[in-house]
Amino acid sequence: MATLAYTSPVGVLVITAHEGALTRLDWQERSHLQVNRDAEEASNEDTRLLAETRHQLDAYFAGTLRRFDLPMNPKGNDLHQAVFQAMLDIPMGETRTYGEVAKKIGNHAQPVGQACGANPIPVIIPCHRILSATGLGGYSGNGGLETKIALLRLEGGYPFLL
């Protein structure tokens, strides 16, 4: 397992790679940042993946990357996996409602919202692109709705916020 602390416009992100795939992305406060850098545990494959993740995040936050191309292994049940894939299918600059995603995967809006909140790789798996039928909905990442709004503004995905 290998981790990378990445300073982004929405906070310090700690990205974890294991066995050649991203498994987590968490926000950390600078004053509490503790990143495990056990070189014996980290494979070269994981280290290369984290370097590529840094490169793609740089391009994303610069506005030049439209879609991440990284191997991922997010933990979650079958419903979670279906919702994660549905989120990945939403193009940058677009949004969907919880209800639209629910209809796409044959479920209900509330479990879709719960799966969004359980997303272990936010930003890269774009749960911020999922909205409620009447507004922004929620966001479980650090900063809550402020972070969701910042990501949507970056992507041009919620025009009346611009």
127 belongs to the catalytic site: yes
List the catalytic residue out of 72, 87, 109, 127: 127
Q: What DSSP designation does 67 have? A: S
In a 3-state reduction of DSSP, which class is residue 46?
A: helix
Rounded to whole angstroms, the Cα distance separating 35 from 53 reads: 16
> Token pair 């416009």 is at which residue?
9
Name 61's Cβ contacts closer than 8 Å, sequence gap at least 6: 8, 9, 154
Number of helical H runs and strand E runs in the chain: 5, 5
User: Which residues are part of the catalytic machinery?
Assistant: 127
